[in-house]
Structures are given as structure tokens and as C-alpha cells.
Amino acid sequence: MKENRVVVTGLGVISPLGNDVPTSWQSMKDGKSGVGPLATFDASAFDSRIAAEVKGFDPALYGMTSKDTRRMEKFVQYAVACATQAITDAGLELEKENKERIGVLIGSGIGSLRIIEEEHKVYLEKGPSRLSPFLIPMLIVNEASGHVAINFGLKGPNSCVATACATGSHAIGDAFKIIERGAAEMMVAGGTESCITHLGVGGFCALKALSTRNDAPQKASRPFDRERDGFVMAEGCGLVVLETLEHARERKAKIYAEIVGYGMSCDAYHITAPDPLGDGASRAMKEALKDAKLKPEEVDYINAHGTSTKLNDKLETVAIKNAFGAHAKKVMVSSTKSMTGHLLGAAGGLEFVVCCLAIEDGVVPPTINYEYPDPECDLDYVPNISRKAKVSVCISNSLGFGGHNATLVVKKFK
């Protein structure tokens, strides 16, 4: 059976660096940090009191009324906003399309914690009869895909992924395969997250996973740097419109890039820690390159998972060396989490958008806050300043709790 070629024609971003694609991308190229003192709630009792929060988001700009937003948690609002951006960017006139051939696959690592906290308090103080009838629809992660489909009338394949920090990449990879095999003509795909709450921050603090560089928030996320001490919690969304090349050509769409490879694996090692040999991540990269029919030396840029935690950055470096051999020292590697913080389930969606823009713009975003080289992290991390470079092929890595690994390969469309 002939497989469809799949291209990227629309991008949407809500991030700590900006509430659209151009603003977020320019901030990354400029090496700006979206991290600051945590403003959502009083965090004085927490070990980590910093976060990369979305700022100035207005759901009304995307047609959401106050009634809508009372029934939609932030992660769902971000998804609707990003889908609106991506569909508009793709130049789609949905009334002219067969909506039964357009699907949605949006994931979230956690979904809503805020509504659980709020309604649990109601339950304790007033009893079960006072619980909101919207509690369940507001907290379940598939509602992001559901609301986007309802909002745009998209009746094709619809699903949701929840694989922790690998979620966004798995969602895009699964959507790619749905189109490739002909089960849909177009898909809106990616990840969304908003769980900067008492429980969310408290839980990650209890894991000792977060940076406690509270006195210098913009310096806190420092992937691959010797002085890294944990990741910075972030929120936001990154979505793309994927479609068959044939359909994109028929409607004369702008094509950002072509998605050509998807690899996934499991460490099967530990509930939070990565495999000590980097085996799982390495196999995901190898599988993605095999799927793309590309050799390691053809890859120009790797958007690394790069969380700024001691183990992740060390072992992702090992995994890249295992997968790329001698080319590992030549390929450009950067972690945009140094600027955005860690968007958890939305990270892979945002970072795939970054890869598409790196190809289009010929610019590799930097790893900021890279000040003290770590002898165990010895690749070209594009330190501190973005780099103009010809980018024809890049990969995006996402490595999640539970040992979930996902790698996407995207290349310049020819």
C-alpha cells in the first residue's frame, strides 16, 4: 500500500515567551527567558518558588465567552486557542473541506489539578451534593481534543495521549501515522498543559525535581550546565496542522516542513529515572531515523529533551552518542527548555514547532544559561546565542516519566 507523504502546514503556540508563534520564536532566537517568580498563588511555603507561566492570555481573542471558560480548564482553553492559530496559519477554509477526514489528536500529561483541588475543598466543606457537574469534564485530559473537534466540527479520527513529558511528541507522531496510512487527510495535533497549582508544584517539589534557584529565576533552567539543579515548571500549548502532501498541493498551502520519521520506546527501568545507559532514548532515535530512511550524519539539529536535571541531561547526551556515533560531536543540540521551562505534556508539541521554524528560518535556538561546562555533557549545545545555520533535517526528543521515549524527524520539504 502506498504511504502518504505528510507535511506541516499550520503552527500554533501559547507559551511563557508569548501567546503566538512569531513572539515565542523571536524570544527564543533572542535567548530570552520566560521564567520568573511564581505568580499564580502564594508559593512562600514551597522549596521551588519560580515557574514559567503564560502571561496575558485572553481566551476572548479566540471566540471563547466567559460562560465557555467557566466550563473549560486552562489546558483546554490553550488547546482551542492554539488550534485556532494553527488552522488560520494553514489557510484552511473548513467549510470547503470534508470534516470527516480531519481529525484531532491532542494530549496532556496531567490535565487539570486546579479543579480537583477546588472541588475537593467544596466536597469537604459542603458535601457531595454541591460538587460541580462540570468537575469530570473539566479534569479529564481528552477534553482538549474533544473541545477542539466540537469547536471546528472536525469529525475524523479523534484521540488523546497521556505519556507524561513525551505526550506532545507521541500525539504528533501518532497523528502522522494516521495520515500516512490514509485514515485521515488532515490532523490537528500536539500537546497542552496547565498544572502550575499547589498540588502540581508541591508534588514535583516532593520529588526533588524542581530547581530551587529562587533568587535568580531566569538563570534557573540551565540544561547540560554543570550547575543545573532541576527543571522549571511551565505551561502552554504547541499544536500543528498535518496533512497529506497531495491535499496541501491541491489547495496551494504553505508548507513549513515534511514529517518523515517517528520512533518510540520504553526504558522499562524506573518510574521516574531514565535508563542509566540511555538505551531507551537511543533506540527511539534510531527507530525514528530508520522510519525516515535517513542516516545519522544527515541530521543537522537535535532539539533535546534537555530538562536541566542531573540525570536527564547526562543520559540524553549518552543516548545521542549511542544513536549518532561519530556524528554526535558534529550535530547541533539545544534545549529550548532553558528559555521556556518544562511544559510537561505540551513540551513535545512546542518543540516540534521549534524544529519546523529552525528549518524555515535557518536559525538554531540556543541553550541559554550555559556557563559551566559539564565533562559528562560534551556536545555542541549551541550555548547562549542562537546560530544561523542551514537546517535540512532535525529531530525532536521527548523523554517521559515511566520510561516513555518519543523522537520525531522533520526535514525541509523538497
Could you read off the pLDDT of 376-413 as tens digits, one per residue? 999 999 999 999 999 999 999 999 999 999 999 999 99
pLDDT, residue 155, reads 98
pLDDT, residue 305, reads 98
Q: What is the mean pLDDT of residues 107-135?
A: 96
Q: Copy the grid coordinates of residue 173.
A: 507522531
Residues 195, 305, 355, 377: which is the catalytic one? 305
Per the annotation, the verdict on 270 as an active-site residue is no
**Which fold, 6-250?**
Peroxisomal Thiolase; Chain A, domain 1 (3.40.47)
pLDDT at 1 over 70: no
Q: What is the mean pLDDT of residues 280-292?
A: 98
Residues 165, 195, 205, 377: which is the catalytic one? 165
How does residue 2 score in pLDDT terms, banded at 50, 70 and 90?
confident
Where do the structural domains in the chain lie, given as residue ranges? 6-250, 262-408
- Mean pLDDT for all residues in the chain: 97
Could you read off the pLDDT of 211-238 as tens digits, one per residue? 999 999 999 999 999 999 999 999 999 9
CATH of domain 262-408: 3.40.47.10
Q: Which backbone phi and psi does 397 adopt, to 5 degrees?
A: -105, 140
Report the C-alpha gap between 122 and 43 in whole angstroms.
Answer: 22
Q: Copy the grid coordinates of residue 144.
A: 482538549
User: Is it true that 6-250 and 262-408 share their CATH fold?
Assistant: yes
Name 10's Cβ contacts closer than 8 Å, sequence gap at least 6. Answer: 85, 86, 87, 88, 89, 90, 91, 92, 240, 241
Q: How far apart are the first and last CA of the chain?
A: 23
pLDDT at 130 over 70: yes
Q: What's the pTM?
A: 0.98
**Alpha helical stretches, state H, 153-271:** 167-180, 198-206, 245-250
For residue 225, how far is the Cα from the chain centroid? 22
Per the annotation, the verdict on 342 as an active-site residue is yes
Residues 147, 342, 355, 377: which is the catalytic one? 342
Could you read off the pLDDT of 302-318 as tens digits, one per residue? 999 999 999 999 999 99
Per the annotation, the verdict on 198 as an active-site residue is no
